[in-house]
């Protein structure tokens, strides 16, 4: 009984002690758990930082590769050494790819000729980089020079302060190194962009970091600390053969939250409050998970917006280049037409005096001109591929004999494959006609065939099959496409309502791993190695092109067995071809050279390219029409206002200095709604206004002068 009394006496103390002991266990366990969680989060943050560094550097190296390819993609070799071209391209590239100390152009001899930005890197101008500071041999440059591959330097100090490394991208044109793109990376700039400007790593502001390499501190973030502090994690990695050590520690405020002193209220509150806190903690955990999920979704949205912004920037750049390139092609094509016309005139006038050798020389020269025209057409198709990156594309919708186009593509593709790969076709016997742009179809098939080739190691098969399948494509999408062509009212009656057309491209390659199959259409996603030059845009372009035609793309794949891509398009029935391809009526022909009597016409040309104006003027006057011209928008519109009653036709470029062609068009129509207008453009990037029955539509550069005259003469014949 005595011990019971003692228990009763000290029961409150025992209960309090038990509560304190239980609460103490909770306190210790809670603090220990939070400390372990913080250590784990710190380790995760370190890994996230390293992954982000690799990702950001990989994006910039890929961007430099794209810049290198763009630089050497020229027909005129002098553009490889153009400082103006450097000033047009590099600042834009520098702005959309932050993190560089400098981007320079180095000549083949190793001298830094051009630098950007200029003011902050003036000390590097005209320096020869074969030898670094203290006469140390530049092994990275020597590697790039001897192999033709990109070379990366070791860690180097910059005279402006800070540390980083430099890269040398050889500019190879016709198998010769013509210079180097030199990307200089400053770790201070790069890490600042990653951690402070971008905020691309969730929660990184709660941590402090020290980056070291070769016993030197190359970057500090947030608070100062030492390696012996609590919660410090040390990770090591190599960035382009540069050993880097990262020390990461939670910030002081974050550490305080898991200290024993900070958590002493748990001892005071007691068991009841502990239970309440337990319930609250459970609710808080759920809230945290919801916040984390929201933040992850926000991060994905931000990444999508950033990607869209990057593509928009690339599209703008591509559009500007395409416009200038098409203007150049137009001038070349115009002058070749004039040469051909003069040669035919000389031959006609000198038939009696030409000997056999001279006649053969004339024919050989005509062949050369035909070859130039073919090169121009190929260049035009390449330019269309460049416009695949642009928001607005100059699409030329045509009726396409798809089997003939496939045969042409396969003829070119056969030269690109290993002889151990067997290429087989299995076409349905019917003639099949689709609507679209032939150059885009060509690019689409070539992208898919090259992917099939790259998936095969050694022997293998690539099979192309075509057949009709029961109708399943959406007619509403098809109707939207038909609005883009002027013959939509007729075409709609001739699309098959029973069948769609399917093309299957089958390979016996390694197949697509299941875990990445849902990503293959994502922009910039690629599984190709660096030496295969994959950009990750091929299947994105294919998917977007097929969707733009109201078609469908799908695939099946099994690892180790191969992949089949199925492309489905709306199909035209055969009678369309015969009526769509009927030739338009032309004006009166007055000679063997295709000269039309257009003497009743007075034409105003508003075009800022001098070479294009010269060629068009020559051909218009050759066909006896009266001609006026202006080299900018203000002059052209003023000329029209002064002599508005005289002009039968206004030929109008879209991208003009002063006032663009679309503005002029609207002003002309305000003055004379019945005025006929013909747009000519290399690439506008602007949506064209709806044209009326008096207009001649759009003629895309480069075009032959004869195609312009045919357009005018056909219009003149139908309105006279």
- pLDDT band for 611, please (50, 70, 90 cuts): confident
**For residue 117, what pLDDT is reported?**
92
524-549: pLDDT as tens digits = 666 665 555 555 567 887 888 888 78
**For residue 241, what pLDDT is reported?**
86
Residue that terminates a domain, selected from 164, 184, 204: 184
**For residue 96, what pLDDT is reported?**
83
Mean pLDDT of 564-588: 59
**For residue 579, what pLDDT is reported?**
38
Residue that terminates a domain, selected from 270, 302, 322: 270
Between residues 370 and 567, the one the model is more confident about: 567
CATH number of the domain within which 487 lies: 3.30.565.10
Residues 409, 503: Cα–Cα separation, whole Å:
14
Residues 490 and 424 in one domain: yes
Residue 676 resides in a domain: yes
SS3 category, 717? helix
Residue 297 resides in a domain: yes
Residue 369 resides in a domain: no
What proportion of the chain, given as a percentage, has pLDDT over 90? 27
Give the burial class of 192: count Cβ atoms within 10 A of its Cβ; 0-12 exposed, 13-18 middle, 19 or more buried: middle
Q: Residue 558: beta bridge partners? A: 562
Mean pLDDT of 65-76: 92
Residues 697 and 590 in one domain: yes
Residues 239, 187: Cα–Cα separation, whole Å:
11
Residues 615 and 708 in one domain: yes
707-718: pLDDT as tens digits = 888 888 888 877
Mean pLDDT of 27-39: 83
pLDDT of 581 > 60? The answer is no
Q: Quote the mean pLDDT of the chain.
A: 79
Residues 399, 429: Cα–Cα separation, whole Å:
19
pLDDT of 592 > 50? The answer is no
Residue that terminates a domain, selected from 143, 168, 184: 184
Q: Do strands 151-152 and 697-700 pair parallel, antiparallel, or not at all (unpaired)?
A: unpaired
Residues 596 and 644 in one domain: yes
Q: Determine which of 37-41, 100-104, 215-219, 309-313 has the lowest per-residue pLDDT on average.
A: 309-313
Q: Which domain holds residue 458?
A: 395-580
**For residue 489, what pLDDT is reported?**
43
Q: Which helix (H) or strand (E) holds 330?
A: helix 271-349
- pTM for the full model? 0.37
CATH number of the domain within which 128 lies: 3.30.450.20
Mean pLDDT of 657-667: 90
pLDDT of 551 > 60? The answer is yes
What proportion of the chain, given as a percentage, has pLDDT over 70? 75
Q: Which helix (H) or strand (E) holds 246?
A: strand 242-250
- Residue ranges of alpha helices (H) inside 101-184 are 139-147
**For residue 318, what pLDDT is reported?**
60
Residues 695 and 570 in one domain: no
CATH number of the domain within which 608 lies: 3.40.50.2300
Q: Determine which of 71-80, 436-445, 461-470 has the lowest per-residue pLDDT on average.
A: 436-445
- Residue ranges of alpha helices (H) inside 152-270 are 187-192, 252-256, 265-269
Q: Determine which of 485-489, 533-537, 575-579, 664-668 has the lowest per-residue pLDDT on average.
A: 575-579
Reply yes or no: is the peptide bond before residue 205 cis, omega within 30 of 0: no
Residue 171 resides in a domain: yes
Q: How many CB atoms lie within 10 A of CB 315?
A: 18
What token pair was written down for 670? 């305000």
Residues 473 and 561 in one domain: yes
Q: Determine which of 16-25, 168-177, 437-446 has the lowest per-residue pLDDT on average.
A: 16-25
pLDDT of 235 > 90? The answer is yes
Residue 448 resides in a domain: yes
Residues 444 and 556 in one domain: yes
**For residue 132, what pLDDT is reported?**
76
**For residue 69, what pLDDT is reported?**
93
Counted domains in the chain: 4
* CB of 164 closer than 8 Å to CB of 187: yes
Residues 497 and 399 in one domain: yes
Please give the backbone phi and psi of residue 344, each rounded to the nearest 5 degrees, phi first: -65, -35
pLDDT of 623 > 70? The answer is yes
Residues 512 and 623 in one domain: no
Residue 54 resides in a domain: yes
Q: Supply the DSSP symbol for 173.
A: E
Residue 468 resides in a domain: yes
Residues 611 and 698 in one domain: yes
**For residue 586, what pLDDT is reported?**
39
300-343: pLDDT as tens digits = 666 655 655 555 555 556 666 666 676 777 778 777 777 777 77
**For residue 10, what pLDDT is reported?**
54
pLDDT of 122 > 60? The answer is yes
**For residue 141, what pLDDT is reported?**
93
pLDDT of 166 > 90? The answer is yes
Residue 356 resides in a domain: no
Give the burial class of 690: count Cβ atoms within 10 A of its Cβ; 0-12 exposed, 13-18 middle, 19 or more buried: exposed
* CB of 606 closer than 8 Å to CB of 630: yes
**For residue 392, what pLDDT is reported?**
47
Residues 576 and 432 in one domain: yes
411-459: pLDDT as tens digits = 888 888 888 899 999 999 888 888 888 888 888 898 899 889 988 988 9
Residues 486 and 554 in one domain: yes
Q: Do strands 151-152 and 163-173 pair parallel, antiparallel, or not at all (unpaired)?
A: antiparallel
632-657: pLDDT as tens digits = 999 999 999 999 889 999 999 988 88
């Amino acid at each position: 009984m005595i011990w019971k009394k003692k228990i009763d006496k000290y029961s409150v103390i025992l209960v309090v002690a038990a509560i304190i002991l239980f609460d103490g266990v909770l306190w210790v366990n809670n603090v220990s758990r939070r400390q372990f969680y913080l250590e784990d989060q710190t380790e995760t943050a370190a890994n996230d930082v390293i992954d982000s560094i690799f990702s950001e550097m990989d994006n910039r190296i890929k961007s430099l590769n794209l810049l290198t390819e763009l630089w050497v993609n020229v027909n005129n070799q002098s553009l490889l050494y153009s400082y103006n071209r450097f000033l047009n391209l590099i600042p834009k590239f520098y702005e959309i790819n932050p993190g560089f100390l400098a981007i320079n152009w180095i000549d083949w001899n190793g001298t830094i000729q051009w630098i950007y930005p200029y003011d902050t890197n003036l000390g590097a101008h005209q320096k020869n980089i074969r030898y670094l500071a203290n006469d140390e041999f530049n092994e990275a440059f020597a590697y790039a020079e001897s192999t033709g591959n990109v070379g990366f330097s070791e860690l180097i100090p910059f005279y402006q302060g800070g540390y980083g490394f430099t890269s040398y991208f050889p500019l190879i044109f016709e198998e010769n190194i013509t210079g180097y793109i030199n990307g200089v990376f400053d770790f201070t700039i790069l890490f600042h962009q990653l951690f402070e400007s971008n905020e691309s790593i969730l929660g990184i502001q709660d941590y402090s970091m020290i980056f070291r390499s070769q016993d030197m501190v190359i970057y500090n973030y947030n608070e100062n600390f030492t390696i012996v502090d609590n919660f410090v994690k040390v990770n090591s990695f190599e960035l382009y053969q540069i050993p880097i050590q990262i020390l990461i520690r939670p910030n002081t405020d974050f550490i305080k939250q898991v200290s024993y002193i900070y958590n002493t209220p748990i001892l005071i509150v007691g068991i009841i409050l502990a239970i309440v806190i337990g319930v609250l903690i459970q609710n808080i955990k759920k809230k945290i998970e919801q916040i984390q999920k929201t933040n992850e979704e926000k991060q994905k949205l931000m990444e999508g917006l950033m990607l869209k912004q990057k593509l928009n920037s690339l599209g703008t750049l591509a559009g500007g280049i395409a416009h200038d390139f098409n203007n150049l092609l137009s001038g070349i094509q115009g002058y070749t037409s004039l040469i051909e016309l003069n040669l035919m005139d000389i031959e006609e006038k000198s038939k009696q005096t030409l000997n056999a050798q001279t006649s053969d020389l004339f024919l050989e020269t005509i062949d050369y001109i035909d070859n130039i025209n073919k090169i121009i057409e190929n260049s035009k198709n390449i330019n269309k591929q460049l416009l695949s990156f642009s928001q607005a594309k100059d699409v030329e919708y045509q009726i396409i004999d798809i089997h003939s186009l496939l045969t042409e593509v396969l003829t070119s593709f056969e030269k690109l494959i290993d002889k151990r790969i067997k290429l087989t076709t299995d076409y349905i016997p019917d003639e099949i006609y689709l609507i679209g742009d032939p150059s885009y179809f060509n690019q689409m098939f070539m992208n898919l065939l090259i992917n099939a080739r790259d998936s095969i190691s050694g022997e293998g098969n690539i099979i192309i099959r075509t057949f009709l399948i029961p109708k399943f494509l959406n007619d509403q999408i098809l109707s939207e496409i038909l609005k883009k062509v002027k013959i939509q009212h007729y075409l709609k009656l001739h699309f098959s309502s029973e069948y769609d057309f399917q093309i299957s491209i089958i390979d016996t390659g390694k197949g697509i791993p299941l875990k990445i199959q849902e990503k293959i259409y994502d922009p910039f996603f690629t599984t190709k190695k660096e030496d295969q030059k994959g950009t990750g845009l091929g299947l994105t372009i294919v998917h977007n092109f097929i969707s733009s035609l109201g078609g469908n793309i799908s695939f099946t794949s099994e690892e180790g067995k191969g992949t089949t891509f199925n492309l489905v398009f709306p199909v035209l029935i055969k009678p369309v071809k015969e009526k769509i391809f009927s030739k338009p009526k032309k004006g009166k022909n007055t000679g063997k050279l295709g000269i039309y009597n257009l003497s009743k016409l007075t034409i105003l040309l508003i075009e800022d390219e001098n070479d294009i104006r010269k060629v068009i003027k020559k051909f218009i006057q050759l066909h006896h029409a009266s001609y006026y011209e202006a080299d900018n928008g203000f002059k052209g519109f003023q000329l029209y206002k002064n002599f508005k009653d005289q002009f039968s036709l206004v030929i109008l470029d879209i991208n003009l200095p002063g006032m663009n062609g679309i503005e002029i068009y609207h002003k002309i129509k305000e003055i004379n709604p019945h005025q006929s207008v013909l747009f000519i453009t290399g690439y506008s990037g602007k949506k064209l206004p709806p044209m009326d029955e008096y207009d001649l539509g759009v003629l895309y550069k480069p075009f032959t002068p004869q195609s312009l005259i045919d357009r005018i003469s056909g219009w003149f014949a139908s309105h006279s």
